[in-house]
């Protein structure tokens, strides 16, 4: 193959999509779903905050979308082509798409969105588009991305959730951080923003001019905010809402609804998010500066106990620094020695002895504080389990549960912690979601969800840099193999388990699982059985 060409033909894909689910869909209806908590704004180009992701991608779209097998599906880009050296990516932009205010969508909007918005003010955009030096727009339907180095991960970051295309004509010359679009969004997506009643709901209506023929089916989409978890469940049971994702219905209620007629539970739609529960160690503090101590703790934890008893069986024990979801791209490598199937207290104690961390007169080797991510009761219970599980090792844990701003400041600004329980999104590529944990360059005081362990290993840094620009899939897999070996040995972050968030939905609802993005998708194919 002389020139590496990847072409996706949209007419074909759309034809298949329509043929596959022909006739059954019913038009019309109001779809009410749960969003919790209420989003601070709808500026998905400024913030990747979860609740924003539940609403904004219905309004804004990306260049590409991803199906449930993680294949790339065209969206605002009809097709794309990567040059042989991997340094030029040419997107063919769809013709005839208009913004909700009637203006045409062109390659100019793409160039502006990437260079002026996502690269500058988006939290993850600077990483996703780090290699993009410029975007050329020879005509309205062509956008050429010029890259410094190949960036294979970039094509995984072009969904409407991760990298929304925003209207140039409304943002140019304004301060995007202070834009009216934050509360009054204008996109190209299947639903048009109508009204936001603070404390109650966001109402979207059908985009009559949507570029996908015959879509969407629904007349209205309503995102409802219900603060109390039990009431959310009652509203679902009563048919007042039809869908809740990302833990809107707590697992304890989800397993009950699962057994009832008319409701179902699924775990699809999180493969692009890849949430991983974990513990970050402060590697500058004794005795957590010793890799043996960190590894000993990993050996003593029964990950399946956490999953079965606290998360009601939803989750998968971690076996490496990378989620096993990366086996789809060949990057995952199991590390059974550091992540044993069942806990091995004896080996853990041996490791502690080896590191010279010996018990005092009272039998206690280490006294430490475990901070808990303030995102709900499950984490508290997990903390209580950790406290018990580490007791046989002579590690005495004190639990600390604070509110979100206090906890964030403690961990990422003041570095005033021993261990903290947390969860990270590993995202569709390790470059996007995993490097931020471990790279020396990611020790960025005051920045949230980066290398709070302050772990620094030049050898690892080199491997991470190589993996970022390596275009060859096999070589890339090999590099990540080494990365995982090093991290299994050093373990600045101890992964607990791959989280499985739950979608709970009314059985009358269909088409909500059309995209790999699940609840962060556009809902363009959702329809309700009357």
Partner 1 sequence: MSQSSKRIRYVLKRLLQAIPIILAIVVLNFFLLQLAEGDAVDVLAGEAGSATPEYMAELRAKFGLDQPLIVQLGVYLKNVVMLDLGYSFRHEMPVSQLVFDRFIPTLILMSSTIVIAVGFGIILGLIAATGLNTWRDTAISVFALITYATPLFWVGLMLIVVFSLNLGWFPTSGMENFAMFYSGWDRVVDIAHHLVLPTITLSLFYLALYTRLMRASVLEQQGEDYVTTARAKGLTERRIVFVHVLRNALLPVVTMAGVQVGALIGGSVIVESVFAWPGLGMLAFEALFSRDLNLLLGIFLLSASLVVAVNLVVDIIYSLLDPRIEVS
Dist. CA 156–CA 80, nearest whole Å: 13
Residue 58 binds partner 1, judged by CB under 8 A: no
Residue 111 binds partner 1, judged by CB under 8 A: no
Query: With respect to partner 1, which residue has the nearer C-beta, 21 or 183?
Result: 183
Q: How far is the CB of 338 from partner 1 (least distance, A)?
A: 27
Q: Which two tokens stand for residue 35?
A: 């969003």
- Which of 8, 121, 252, 347 binds partner 1 (CB under 8 A)? It is 121
Stretch that binds partner 1, among 87-95, 384-392, 440-448, 461-469 (CB under 8 A): 440-448
CA 507 to the chain's CA centroid: 26
Query: With respect to partner 1, which residue has the nearer C-beta, 167 or 340?
Result: 167
Residue 351 and residue 509 in contact, taking contact as beta carbons nearer than 8 Å: no
Stretch that binds partner 1, among 143-151, 383-391, 444-452, 462-470 (CB under 8 A): 444-452
Beta-carbon-side half-sphere exposure of residue 188 (alpha carbons within 13 Å):
26
Dist. CA 116–CA 136, nearest whole Å: 13
- Which of 9, 134, 230, 388 binds partner 1 (CB under 8 A)? It is 230
Residue 404 binds partner 1, judged by CB under 8 A: yes
The alpha-helical segments, DSSP class H, found in 208-278 are: 229-237, 251-258
DSSP 108-149: HHHHHIIIIIIHHH-SSHHHHTTTEEEEEEEETTEEEEEESS
Q: How far is the CB of 485 from partner 1 (least distance, A)?
A: 27
Residue 449 binds partner 1, judged by CB under 8 A: yes
Query: With respect to partner 1, which residue has the nearer C-beta, 100 or 224?
Result: 224
Q: Which phi and psi (to 5°) does residue 470 adopt? A: -75, 120
Q: How far is the CB of 200 from partner 1 (least distance, A)?
A: 5
Residue 222 binds partner 1, judged by CB under 8 A: yes
Q: How far is the CB of 60 from partner 1 (least distance, A)?
A: 16
Q: Which two tokens stand for residue 170?
A: 């409304």
Q: 269 by DSSP, 3-state: which? A: coil
Residue 259 binds partner 1, judged by CB under 8 A: no
- Which of 209, 309, 413, 441 binds partner 1 (CB under 8 A)? It is 413
Q: Which two tokens stand for residue 222?
A: 């309503």
Dist. CA 288–CA 281, nearest whole Å: 6
Q: Which two tokens stand for residue 92?
A: 């063919």
Residue 441 binds partner 1, judged by CB under 8 A: no
- Which of 85, 228, 337, 459 binds partner 1 (CB under 8 A)? It is 228
Q: Which two tokens stand for residue 103?
A: 């203006």
Query: With respect to partner 1, which residue has the nearer C-beta, 226 or 499?
Result: 226
- Which of 256, 410, 466, 489 binds partner 1 (CB under 8 A)? It is 410
Residue 185 binds partner 1, judged by CB under 8 A: no
Q: With contacts defined by CB under 8 A, how many residues of the chain interact with partner 1?
A: 57
Residues 6+ apart with CB under 8 A from 427: 124, 156, 157, 162, 272, 273, 274, 433, 434
Q: How far is the CB of 194 from partner 1 (least distance, A)?
A: 11
Q: What is the DSSP letter of 445?
A: T
Residue 527 and residue 266 in contact, taking contact as beta carbons nearer than 8 Å: no
Q: How far is the CB of 234 from partner 1 (least distance, A)?
A: 4
Residue 273 and residue 247 in contact, taking contact as beta carbons nearer than 8 Å: no
Beta-carbon-side half-sphere exposure of residue 128 (alpha carbons within 13 Å):
24
Residue 201 binds partner 1, judged by CB under 8 A: yes
Query: With respect to partner 1, which residue has the nearer C-beta, 201 or 305?
Result: 201
Residues 6+ apart with CB under 8 A from 110: 63, 76, 91, 93, 135, 137, 143, 165
* Angle subtended at Cα 35 by Cα 29 and Cα 36, rounded to the nearest 5 degrees: 160
Residue 436 binds partner 1, judged by CB under 8 A: yes
Residue 37 binds partner 1, judged by CB under 8 A: yes
> Which residues would be at the binding site for partner 1 (CB under 8 A)?
30, 32, 37-38, 40-41, 46-50, 121, 123-124, 126, 177-178, 182-183, 197-201, 203, 220, 222, 224-228, 230-231, 234-235, 237-238, 240, 402-406, 408-410, 413, 425, 436, 444-450
């Amino acid at each position: 193959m002389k020139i590496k060409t990847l072409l996706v033909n949209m007419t074909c894909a759309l034809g298949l999509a329509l043929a596959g689910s022909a006739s059954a869909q019913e038009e019309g209806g109001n779809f009410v779903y749960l969003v919790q908590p209420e989003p601070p704004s709808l500026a998905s180009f400024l913030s990747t905050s979860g609740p924003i992701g539940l609403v904004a991608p219905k309004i804004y779209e990306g260049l590409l979308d991803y199906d449930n097998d993680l294949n790339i599906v065209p969206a605002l880009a009809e097709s794309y082509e990567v040059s042989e050296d991997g340094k030029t990516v040419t997107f063919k932009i769809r013709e005839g798409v208009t913004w909700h205010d009637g203006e045409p969508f062109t390659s100019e909007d793409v160039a502006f969105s990437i260079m002026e918005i996502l690269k500058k003010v988006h939290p993850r955009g600077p990483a996703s588009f780090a290699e993009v030096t410029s975007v050329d727009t020879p005509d309205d339907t062509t956008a050429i991305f010029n890259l410094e180095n190949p960036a294979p991960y970039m094509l995984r970051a072009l969904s409407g959730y991760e990298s929304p295309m925003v209207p140039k004509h409304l943002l140019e010359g304004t301060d995007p951080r202070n834009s009216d679009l934050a509360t009054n969004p204008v996109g190209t997506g299947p639903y048009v923003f109508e009204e936001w009643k603070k404390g109650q709901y966001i109402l979207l209506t059908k985009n009559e001019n949507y570029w996908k023929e015959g879509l969407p089916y629904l007349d209205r989409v309503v995102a409802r905010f219900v603060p109390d978890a039990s009431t959310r469940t009652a509203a679902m049971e009563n048919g007042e809402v039809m869908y809740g994702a990302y833990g809107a219905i707590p697992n304890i209620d989800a397993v009950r609804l699962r057994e009832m007629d008319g409701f179902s539970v699924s775990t699809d739609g999180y493969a692009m998010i890849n949430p991983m529960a974990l513990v970050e160690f402060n590697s500058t503090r004794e005795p957590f500066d010793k890799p043996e101590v960190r590894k000993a703790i990993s050996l003593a934890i029964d990950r399946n106990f956490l999953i079965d008893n606290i998360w009601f069986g939803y989750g998968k024990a971690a076996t490496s620094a990378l989620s096993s979801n990366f086996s789809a791209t060949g990057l995952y490598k199991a590390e059974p020695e550091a992540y044993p199937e069942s806990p091995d207290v004896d080996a853990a104690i041996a490791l502690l002895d080896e590191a010279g961390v010996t018990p005092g007169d009272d039998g206690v080797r280490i006294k430490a504080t475990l901070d808990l991510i303030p995102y709900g009761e499950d984490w508290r219970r997990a903390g209580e389990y950790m406290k018990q599980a580490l007791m046989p090792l002579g590690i005495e844990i004190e639990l600390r549960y604070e509110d979100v701003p206090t906890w964030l400041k403690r961990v990422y600004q003041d570095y005033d912690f021993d261990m903290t329980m947390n969860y990270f999104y590993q995202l569709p590529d390790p470059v996007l979601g995993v490097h931020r944990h471990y790279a020396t360059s990611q020790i960025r005081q005051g920045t949230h969800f980066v290398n709070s362990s302050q772990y620094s290993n030049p050898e690892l840094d080199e491997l991470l840099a190589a993996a970022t620009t390596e275009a060859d899939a096999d070589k890339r897999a090999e590099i990540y193999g080494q990365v995982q070996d090093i991290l299994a040995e050093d373990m600045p972050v101890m992964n607990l388990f791959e989280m499985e968030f739950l979608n709970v939905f009314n059985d009358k609802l269909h088409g909500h699982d059309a995209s790999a993005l699940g609840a962060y998708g556009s809902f363009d194919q959702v329809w309700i059985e009357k």
